[in-house]
Amino acid sequence: MSRTRVVVTGMGAVCATGVGVPALWQAARNGASAVGLSEFARPGTNQVKLAAQIKSFVPEAHIEAKVLPFCDRFAQLAIVAADEAMAQAGLAREPRQGSRTAVILGTGIGGISTVDDLCYSAYAAKTRLNPFAVPRIMGSSATSHLSMRYGCTGPTFTITSACASSAQAIGLATSLVRSGAVDRAIVGGSESSMTALNIRSWELLRVLTPDACRPFSAGRNGMVLGEGAAIMVIEEREAARRRDAAPLAEIVGYGTSSDAFDIVRPDPEGACSAMQLAIADAGLTPDDIDYVNAHGTGTIANDIAEADALQRVFGDRLPRLAVSSTKPIHGHTLGAGGAIELAISIMALRDDIAPPTINWLGPDPKCALAPVANEARATPIRVAMSNSFAFGGVNACLLVARPDLTPGGSRCERAG
């Protein structure tokens, strides 16, 4: 019995690279970093000054005045990315999407900007508190806004699994579509953690770099935080076909696992398990994977553990496999990272281009892989893998294939 196939028919993104997937892909492909000096209305005691902040975003240009007071910045980013994804999918706010459409998003910390403002007003400035603080803070706020915006009355919920949040949201939504519970889903993730206090908190964990994020490179010393959102419309393939939607990619595999090991230290076994589960879910072998968008934070512990896990999955092929981390370009966007990096992976599929790992200085003997270093590489890509490995040991892996290929690699009947 053949399995229900799930395709992506629309994508949207807002990152430090700009508004829209084209801006994100152009920066990723060209290795153009959007990391710069952070700016805060209330500067803290940060020693680390780098971040991938969105500095040109004007929410009033995109979102209605009656909606904005209820939206923390992470919900604003989700709405703008969703509008782009829905438009590309050929869907609109009218007619309403109804009970056969789900909304499932991921976020790590939800409305932290509102929490920061609220604490300052209450304890320092002693000014009037925002009466809409509660609906802005809720981790499920962005998800609910999207369900109301498009009239989606199917399953609607938010996944919070730190940096694996949006990858798990996409994977679980794929399972719902496969099961027949819904025809389509609005999925992805959003995160805006750009407060001085939050960056100082990460700094205290000694995982932020003071100079440059260099995943898998000699001399790497940490990551750069970022903010952003990526939203996708996924659909049962035949439902998409009936309304003449053009698939961008097919989601062919999903795997998730838990290290059950340590709250901040990764265990390669857990990451390896997530990748193997995704490959098995797709009915593929490691040899079918042509590109890996690695979690690749640039921290010493993460990169060694992920390289170890990739070695266990791909064996002797790993040094020849196209692997890159795009986090030095758009920053580590925490709960939104899985969705943003899957969008980049889908564009890599479309163009047969593996984006680069920029800032790479040379090999680290403890990372047995040769990333696509500093410049993009043209290479045929049949299937791309996107990894998300979170604090707390939660792992998620997604596989996407070209929409005109069957998982086994041959042309399907829909080609053309």
Nearest of 52, 145, 85, 58 to residue 331 by alpha carbon: 52
- 8-state DSSP, 43: -
Q: Which residue type, as a one-letter code, is found at position 81?
A: A
282 within 8 A of 409, measured Cβ to Cβ: no
Indicate the pairing of strand 18-19 with strand 184-191.
Answer: unpaired
Got the DSSP string for 98-119?
BTTEEEEEE-SS-SHHHHHHHH
Rounded CA gap, 89 and 91, in Å?
6
Which amino acids are annotated catalytic? 163, 295, 332
What does the H/E/C string look like for 283-308? Answer: CCCHHHCCEEECCCCCCHHHHHHHHH
Rounded CA gap, 224 and 208, in Å?
6
Rounded CA gap, 385 and 284, in Å?
12
Cis omega before residue 95 (within 30°)? Answer: yes
Spell out the residues 6+ positions from residue 245 whose beta carbon is closer than 8 angstroms to its own. Answer: 9, 89, 90, 235
Rounded CA gap, 402 and 168, in Å?
21
